Structure 1
């Protein structure tokens, strides 16, 4: 029996593994940080029996409440990820599974590999309407890549979409893949109407270093990128510095930042009601965006979400707040669950990579609903 995480986005430490019913594990912290919650590892075994895998330090993780009613995902082929029996006792997370093959992967959510990220970029650039732009490099020397979809012309709206500031929130890049798939479909009326009115600037992965390292929340230097937007630096947060610099060059009329939430079992958005420039125009745009998304898909809801910021009390180091204030534009953080969507549960798969992609496709009608009213 062998357990390893020596691969892209892998994260686990083996404390003890002397029998299938006594496997003791721990999640490794993000580099130079106390954040941890993402795990991704492979179990190889010849034992035809149930295996009990105990993550002993779950109770001290970044978001321990996230383990309540949570089920880990597993895969034999690294393509289809299904939910497995998981229990949390307030301290340890216990996964029980009877392997049906010699090798099985376990993860916090369906992983989005760096190779798939590169495939996404280069397959997209093959479309005549899409350009791949390199903004610079990360601390580990990886490319900071952006896709420009549409032909920049005077009068067109500038729509910016980012994902995976927090690398363990892989559902965010799955959403981007779905959104791109529809946006680049020449036979899709919504996509064609949007590209006649707007140009999309899309950063599918804001944190490639943290993604490959198996981090939950930070980059190679242990920085939470979604707290770096007010004063980013090339020394600590080049990912934000480079994207922010490009935004200042192009301008922004609409900003969507894709994330995953450990605790809440719903899809929801968080806006900019706490920034100094928030006004009735932004309120109306927010409401129209939400109403359209509600009409398009039952996966979205507005009853549950984060508490609203008091006027003038927004955290301006957060991307949505900084962008919304800097450009006086509609800006939303989009949150998806690590668990299941409680309003539309799926016992076998929970909230998944496939459902994230479909939500990405469903984002475009909401963008279309507001595009003419953004300025």
Structure 2
């Protein structure tokens, strides 16, 4: 009888390539940031079935409180985002607190146990009030300068960890109250200095996912470089370097989410040598979202497309204006998805959903992280 059972299982395996012994197919994170700070979000234009998560950006930090800056707009956006769950019941919607422009008060907000509890409670109260699914922290940056005027201090290194502990405790209370799980995540700077100024191995104990912002790199020492390249060309930082840095700091691969840019960044180079790459940077110029780049600039209007095989990154260069535009395209997105799978990462995320309204890149993600 046992022999017949084993034979039946063997036949099932042969006939069904997807059959597995008690294993389910891995579900990768696909998270799109949505900029609610601009006003009402056009939720009807979100292809929600291609997403697992939406991070709503941003919630402000004032007087040790998590603060919605435009309650009327934010509350409408939360209602409309929740309605997307009709099409995708598994969708998770998180508030993202901070961002580049609203990180100046984080250091004060988490300075003492009392202030941390205040901040944690008001963060989770927003989740409770609007029936959302979790909190994402985007502090740019603990213990080091972000935007000019930001408050930062050495104590941020430990307080960054203690902040997540406090929020996790508040979320645990909410889980008991609601009888379901709530997530805690963080978007983190991709630099080695960010790792050095935090305790990421400890932070990972309290968080569900770590979103590494593997974009906005640029060249070193005032030169023109890639901004969202997968590998280094010898002159640049890279997503691969960042991932390895966070893993060395104790963050499990299973919690790391790789960043992609749905926008390009432009730089004027001093000369046309090497199509501007690695040349002295004169100034930053407008890049634009990927749909705009693909439809109006790639091999058009004086721009020629090039590909850095070592960095696995595309770029445009205009010989007459000496402007280089660095970005992600379908090919680099496909390679990032392959990298996620190869290294057993949690998934991929991107800034920002509406930078690519024709869905060139999210379609590529959907095809390659199925």
Common fold by TM > 0.5: no
Compute the TM-score of the two structures, normalised by the length of structure 2.
Answer: 0.30
Compute the TM-score of the two structures, normalised by the length of structure 1.
Answer: 0.29
**Larger RCO, structures 1/2 (Cα 8 Å, 6+ apart):** 1
Structure whose CA Rg is larger: 2
